């Protein structure tokens, strides 16, 4: 559909040149910022003050993907940092509905993310609390991994359940999204596409963004 959005992940960008790296993706819909705490995933990236600086410098809105334990306590800081959307992992939140409402009060759109092994059924009873469902298509932690094809039926089930309940919830896919996988994900019902290495390893990032967008909208 024409509501497909491309969110480049800056995880594999050059952090020493973060300003220019954000400018490279200015034609995308949002900058996907992967927050990792070295506990929920075995990698460590940005904290809230860095995210606040990215928000200030970025020409496009920031989509924060929190791969951190104890999301109930830490996620609100990323809404305060100015992220347009804050996505926390269901596996890391003890009161996901309360947290979603708190993030909305802090003016962020709210996403809930599922690791590959977490069934979509675990979220369906309260999916209406969220603006976006992030279905991980790799094990979270690193860029450059390959798309897990068995996530396609999960995307399909999620899209079907969301349409049956007449809700307006986006489905984001993250991990291994490229020219060769984006069409299948779009066909299964995803409409927000995170791509890190596919975009940052391209000679012309704007060109890659345009190509991915047109493949997703076909």
- 174 marked as binding residue: yes
- 40 marked as binding residue: no
Q: What stretches of 20-61 adopt beta strand conformation (E)?
A: 31-36
**Segment 98 to 137, residues that bind ligand DX5, using CB under 6 A:** none
Decide the pairing of beta strands 85-89 and 62-67.
Answer: parallel
Task: Decide if residue 141 touches ligand DX5 (CB under 6 A).
Answer: yes
Task: Decide if residue 89 touches Zn ion (CB under 5 A).
Answer: no
Residue of the chain from 93, 174, 197, 198 that contacts Zn ion (CB under 5 A): 174
Task: Decide if residue 63 touches Zn ion (CB under 5 A).
Answer: no
Q: In angstroms, how far is the first alpha carbon of the chain from the final one?
A: 7
> Which CB sits closer to ligand DX5, 44 or 97?
44
Contact 107, 130 (CB under 8 A): no
CA distance 6 to 180: 15
- Residue 190 site contact among ligand DX5, Zn ion, none (CB < 5 to 8 Å, cut-off depends on kind): none
Task: Decide if residue 34 touches Zn ion (CB under 5 A).
Answer: yes
Task: Decide if residue 45 touches ligand DX5 (CB under 6 A).
Answer: no
Long-range contact set of residues 95-100: C-beta below 8 Å, sequence gap at least 24: 96/126, 96/129, 97/126, 97/129, 98/72, 99/71, 99/72, 99/75, 100/129, 100/130
Shortest Cβ distance from residue 1 to ligand DX5 (Å)? 22
Q: Is 34 a catalytic residue?
A: yes
CA distance 114 to 124: 12
Annotated binding residues = 9, 32, 34, 65, 141-144, 174-176, 196-197
Which residues contribute to the site for ligand DX5 (CB under 6 A)? Answer: 9, 11-12, 32, 34, 65, 138, 140-145, 174-177, 194-198
């Amino acid at each position: 559909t024409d509501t497909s959005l491309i969110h480049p992940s800056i995880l594999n960008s050059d952090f020493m040149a973060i300003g220019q790296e954000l400018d490279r993706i200015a034609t995308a819909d949002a900058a996907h910022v992967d927050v990792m705490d070295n506990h929920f995933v075995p990698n460590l990236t940005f904290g809230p003050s860095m995210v606040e600086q990215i928000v200030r410098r970025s020409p496009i809105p920031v989509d924060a993907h929190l791969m951190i334990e104890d999301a109930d306590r830490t996620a609100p800081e990323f809404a305060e940092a100015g992220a347009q959307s804050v996505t926390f992992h269901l596996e890391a939140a003890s009161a996901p509905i309360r947290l979603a409402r708190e993030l909305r009060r802090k003016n962020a759109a709210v996403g809930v993310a599922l690791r590959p092994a977490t069934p979509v059924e675990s979220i369906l009873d309260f999916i209406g609390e969220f603006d976006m469902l992030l279905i991980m298509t790799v094990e979270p932690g690193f860029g450059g991994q390959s798309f897990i094809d068995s996530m396609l039926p999960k995307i399909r089930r999620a899209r079907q359940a969301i349409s049956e309940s007449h809700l307006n919830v986006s489905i984001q896919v993250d991990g291994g999204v490229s020219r060769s996988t984006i069409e299948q994900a779009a066909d299964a019902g995803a409409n927000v596409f995170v791509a890190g290495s596919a975009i940052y390893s391209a000679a012309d990032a704007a060109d890659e963004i345009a190509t991915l967008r047109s493949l997703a909208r076909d």
